[in-house]
């Protein structure tokens, strides 16, 4: 079967923005180092990574900070391009946004659902058709017609998750999403993700919470030093990861 | 393809509606502000040039208003263009959507505010004994589209270049002040000394301003000026789209 996400020898390097972007004054004062930096200042976030993710898999990426996990998510979402290598993604990608991203704080919850839904790739009619379901699911109740600057962070998280949960995602990208919200909301998220798993939605999950990774994922990739260090079942990879870090 | 177009249209509509809703959300006078500012400038220029410096022109107040309202649309959009992508960085870094729609929504928002100020222009014309002419029926939409393409092209260029060259923001605020005084808004094109006349052609905004003013004041669509501004609009729009396309793959990296 054709993989949903396929990385072939993907390398991603970022230019280092040093003295040049910090202004012409700095550039002139530190001319020799600045020129050197401009010529070879490259930071490699991912080096020569290859993997396939198949339909219905829930893949967790673990690893220490700065290992390159978020770059993988951005590459899958298509917001950045690989330096070399090829990436193929088949299906609509829905990223779960960080708290409040893509929201406008002066608008009501209802307006924001429309805004967020459209930004995430649905047409207006599609969002409006699901509006009531989304509002119900978010449990925001009467506050839905209030500007969201009055919302608590838990309410924002619920609103954001409700939109994504009703997008009918094909590929869902989750970056540390379970960290916010109270216990009952987290339970609800987990339940929804289990539903997604049954519906064969492909999920890519980046987290530092090994409990969540063990609970949700069907496969885990450990990213270390910008490359894949270990790829296998959650139990196996997580215990190796934990034993190395203890 | 049709689905894509439908989606693009929806995105622009929703984003523009958002901008319009948000702009005057917390101010009491709301929409009146978009009229108050050009009128206030008109007062200032009227006092300096008519009362103090005694410019030889009939209906100078009306003359100012007809130039200042279109200018307001242009300068508002261009002034916010440097920060528009930075202000939306959280979404641009995460979601792949046609990013140019953010810029388009901003220009349309200012455009809608300009449209809403046309009744005010008409009112001033009426008070001075002028009447809206039938040419407005096709003249207004035509010039609206031309100014939209014109402004949108410039906004796309500034917005994308500013991410890589942040001095753009400062540069724009200087250039826009210069452009204001080099455009026949507070003086008429006929007052420019003959030896400087050819320079008008070098200012992309001059013809458009002249075209707007003649449409408002005497109901004429000046063929030469409309064609020149259309040519500039098409050029700037293409240049803007091209620049934006070239730079947008790297937006998420530099934000």
Six-digit token pair at B14? 């929703």
Q: How far is B102 from chain A (nearest CA, A)?
A: 10
- Interchain CB distance below 8 Å, B94 and A114: no
Chain B residues inside the 8 Å CB shell of A100:
90
3-state secondary structure (DSSP) of residue A31:
helix
- Interchain CB distance below 8 Å, A106 and B25: yes
Asked whether this complex has an ipTM greater than 0.95, the answer is no
d(CA B26, CA B9): 28
pTM here is: 0.90
Residue A95 has pLDDT above 90, yes or no: no
Six-digit token pair at A73? 């998510």
- Digit-by-digit pLDDT tens for chain B (255 residues) are 678 899 999 999 999 999 998 887 777 777 888 889 999 999 999 999 999 999 988 899 999 999 999 999 999 999 999 999 998 888 898 888 999 999 999 999 999 999 999 999 999 999 998 888 899 999 999 999 999 999 999 999 999 999 988 899 999 999 999 999 999 999 999 999 999 988 888 899 999 999 999 999 989 999 999 999 999 999 999 999 999 999 998 898 888
* Residue A68 near chain B (CB below 8 Å): no
Note whether B117 and B140 are within 8 A (CB): no
- From the list B214, B180, B200, B176, the residue with the least C-alpha distance to B66 is B214
3-state secondary structure (DSSP) of residue A79:
coil
Q: How many CB atoms lie within 10 A of CB A35?
A: 13
- Interchain CB distance below 8 Å, B18 and A115: yes
- Interchain CB distance below 8 Å, A124 and B13: yes
Q: How far is A225 from chain B (nearest CA, A)?
A: 20
Note whether B158 and B78 are within 8 A (CB): yes
If pLDDT is split at 50, 70 and 90, which confidence band does A19 have? very low
d(CA A162, CA A166): 6
Domains for chain A: give ranges and CATH numbers: 57-245 (3.40.50.300)
The model's pLDDT over A26-40, given as tens digits with 9 standing for 90+, comes to 666 666 666 666 656
Instruction: Name the residue facing B14 among A21, A81, A115 (closest C-beta).
Output: A115
Residue A21 confidence (pLDDT):
56
Six-digit token pair at B85? 């992508």
Six-digit token pair at A147? 């500007």
- Interchain CB distance below 8 Å, B95 and A79: yes
If pLDDT is split at 50, 70 and 90, which confidence band does A208 have? confident
Burial of B171 (0-12, 13-18, 19+ CB in 10 A): middle
């Amino acid at each position: 079967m054709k993989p949903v996400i396929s990385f072939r020898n993907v390398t991603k390097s970022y230019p280092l923005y040093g003295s040049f972007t910090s202004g012409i004054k700095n550039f002139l004062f530190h001319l020799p180092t600045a020129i050197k930096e401009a010529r070879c200042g490259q930071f490699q976030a991912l080096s020569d990574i290859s993997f396939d993710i198949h339909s219905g898999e829930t893949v967790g990426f673990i690893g220490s900070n700065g290992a390159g996990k978020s770059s993988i998510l951005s590459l899958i979402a298509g917001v950045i391009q690989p330096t070399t290598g090829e990436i193929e993604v088949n299906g609509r990608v829905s990223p779960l946004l960080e708290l409040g991203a893509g929201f406008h704080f002066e608008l009501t919850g209802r307006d924001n659902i429309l805004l967020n839904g459209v930004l995430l790739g649905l047409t207006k009619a599609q969002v409006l058709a699901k509006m009531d379901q989304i509002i119900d699911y978010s449990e925001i109740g009467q506050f839905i017609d209030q500007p969201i600057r009055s919302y608590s962070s838990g309410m924002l998280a619920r609103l954001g998750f409700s939109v994504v949960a009703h997008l009918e995602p094909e590929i869902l990208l989750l970056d540390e999403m379970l960290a916010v919200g109270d216990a009952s909301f987290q339970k609800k998220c987990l339940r929804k993700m289990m539903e997604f798993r049954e519906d064969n939605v492909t999920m890519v999950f980046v987290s530092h919470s090994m409990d969540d990774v063990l609970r949700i994922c069907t496969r885990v990739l450990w990213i270390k030093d910008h490359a894949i260090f270990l790829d296998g079942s959650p139990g196996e990879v997580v215990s190796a990861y934990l034993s190395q870090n203890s | 393809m049709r689905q894509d177009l439908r989606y693009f249209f929806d995105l622009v509509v929703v984003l523009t509606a958002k901008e319009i809703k948000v702009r005057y959300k917390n101010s009491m006078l709301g929409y009146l502000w978009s009229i108050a500012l050009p009128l206030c400038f008109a007062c200032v220029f009227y006092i300096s040039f008519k009362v103090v410096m005694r410019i030889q022109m009939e209906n100078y107040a009306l003359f100012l208003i007809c130039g200042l309202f279109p200018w307001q649309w242009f300068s508002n959009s261009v002034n916010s263009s440097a920060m528009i992508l930075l202000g939306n960085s959280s979404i641009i870094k995460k979601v792949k959507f046609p990013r140019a729609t953010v810029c388009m929504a901003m220009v349309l928002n200012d455009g809608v505010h300009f449209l809403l100020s046309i009744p005010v222009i008409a009112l001033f014309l009426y008070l001075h004994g002028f009447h809206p002419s039938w040419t407005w029926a096709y003249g207004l939409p035509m010039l609206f589209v031309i100014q939209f393409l014109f402004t949108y092209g410039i906004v796309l260029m500034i917005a994308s270049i500013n991410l890589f060259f942040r001095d753009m923001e400062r540069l724009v605020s200087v250039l826009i002040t210069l452009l204001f005084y080099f455009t026949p808004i507070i003086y008429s094109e006929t007052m420019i000394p003959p030896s400087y006349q050819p320079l008008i052609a070098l200012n992309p905004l001059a013809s458009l301003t002249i075209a707007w003013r003649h449409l408002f004041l005497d109901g004429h669509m000046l063929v030469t000026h409309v064609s020149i501004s259309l040519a500039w609009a098409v050029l700037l729009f293409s240049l803007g789209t091209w620049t934006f396309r070239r730079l947008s793959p790297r937006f998420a990296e530099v934000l």
